[in-house]
Amino acid sequence: MSDQRATVSRLAGNLSHPDGLETTLLLACARNRLDLETIKQIKSVVGNGEVNWTLVVRRAIFHGLTPLVAWNLARSCADSLPVELADALGDWLAQNRARNLALAHEVLTIVDLLEKQNIPVIPIKGPVLAKTLFGDLSRRQSGDLDFFVPERRVSSALEVFGSLGYQLCAGQHVAYRRYYNNFALERPDQMIVAELHWNLTPRTMAVRFDINGLWERARMIPFEDRSVLSLSCEDNLIFLCVHGSKHFWCRLKWICDIHEFLDAHTAIDWKRCLELSRKQGCERMLLLGLTLAEALLETELPEPVRDRIHADSEVRQLAHQMQADFFHDGKRRPDIFEAFQPFLLSLRERFRDKLLYCWRNATTPHCGHLAIVSLPPFLCFLYVPIKLLCDYAWRPLVRPWKKALPKAP
């Protein structure tokens, strides 16, 4: 553990010099349980008196860790914090608790209504993950609510959401069922956005989850004095690592989730987990998430996982590259829906998955293509040639003309 702690300290200094104090503090606070050595480290950094608190708060907000940072600072060194900062962090923590309590109530309301209609549903991420990993709704920030249902029951589930006042977000129609993995719905009166998933990843990622197997392996877990359906431990860990990879692991929050997941689930069947990820073509995504958790948050990994990481030089190289600019403020983060992403291609260990990723990125219409013309369901396949004509014929022709146009004064 001491060797790991030395690695983290060195990493903090290398990643963000000359603001190593702020990085060290953020990494130390990015966990639910603090040992005595970590508490001592936090007190030492804060007691130094040279912390740029504006930078710490800005990074905590960006990385989705404000509640956890507030919680850990309050219990480690509350008396050493600037009064205004301590009050602001306390208010943030209270507001996050109230918001997550409301979201948790909404999750249970939706689950109950779906189950009354005999629609199987798995709430993923959000308040359920917060309670499972942290034991307290206040310590993890939640955004949208996510629900996973069988694809054959999506239409019925949409009716249930509609009965609660949810509306489909603008621009979504029947073609979404063909080319996307979820519908986004909003409830204006509560300022809540919910996503109704029938697959766990966008089509363009080309990760072929064993959907039937996910449902067969699902299990009940406790949540707010009752039980809800959840992915199995192994499937949930794989999903969290794929989700982080989808977002290029640009937020420490997702790496913290991996660290806390392993801390909360000590009976993971690692042989099964690695086998499932390998069969689904996302083993490298799993290994990358685990490697980042070990490097940044000192997560202890079992020997079978270490052996697989050691055997995959691409994982080690990707992790090193990502750590090198993890805390570079102002760096533009790529968007999975923008275009082909070499990073996501490098995360595929099998050649056939690389080909599938390239093919789906070349042929999957995006929202802009669907908005060009409204087609009836039986003609939705025509969105593919529309995308091809738009992206590979029309835009290349128009681009030189746009560059040639005089700029407005």
Percent of the chain exceeding pLDDT 90 equals 69
For range 2-9, the mean pLDDT: 41
How far is the C-alpha of 361 from the C-alpha of 22, rounded, in Å?
39
Give 327 or 181, the one with higher predicted confidence. 181
Tens-place pLDDT, residues 253-280: 999 999 999 999 999 999 999 999 999 9
Q: Is the pLDDT of residue 297 over 70?
A: yes
Tens-place pLDDT, residues 113-156: 999 999 999 999 999 999 999 999 999 998 889 999 999 999 99
- CA nearest 116: which of 148, 75, 159, 151? 159
- Residue pair 340/354 in contact by the 8 Å Cβ criterion: no
Q: Where are the alpha helices (DSSP H) in 164-217?
A: 175-179, 211-217
- The residue behind tokens 């001491």 is 2
Q: Phi and psi dihedrals of 182, rounded to 5?
A: -160, 160
Judged on CB neighbours under 10 Å (0-12, 13-18, 19+), 161 is buried
CA 349 to each of CA 32, 239, 274, 287, 310: distance values in angstroms, whole numbers, following the listed order: 33, 17, 13, 11, 14
Q: Is the pLDDT of residue 405 over 90?
A: no
For range 74-93, the mean pLDDT: 91
Q: What is the residue-averaged pLDDT of the chain?
A: 88
Q: What is the pLDDT of residue 333?
A: 61
With cut-offs at 50, 70 and 90, classify the pLDDT of residue 323: confident
Domain residue ranges of the chain, discontinuous segments joined by +: 118-229, 232-333
- The residue behind tokens 């079978």 is 304
Q: What is the pLDDT of residue 330?
A: 57
Q: Phi and psi dihedrals of 226, rounded to 5?
A: -155, -170
CA angle 102, 58, 27 (to 5 degrees): 90
118-229 folds as Beta Polymerase; domain 2 (3.30.460)
Give 322 or 102, the one with higher predicted confidence. 102
Q: Is the pLDDT of residue 25 over 80?
A: yes
Which range (203-217, 251-265, 274-288, 393-407) has the least confidence? 393-407
Q: Is the pLDDT of residue 294 over 80?
A: yes
With cut-offs at 50, 70 and 90, classify the pLDDT of residue 403: low
- The residue behind tokens 């090198």 is 324
Q: Is the pLDDT of residue 10 over 50?
A: no
For range 344-373, the mean pLDDT: 90
Q: What is the pLDDT of residue 329?
A: 64
State the DSSP string of 218-267. Answer: -EEEEETTEEEEE--HHHHHHHHHHHHHHTTT-SHHHHHHHHHHHHH-TT
Q: What is the pLDDT of residue 12?
A: 40
Q: Is the pLDDT of residue 290 over 80?
A: yes
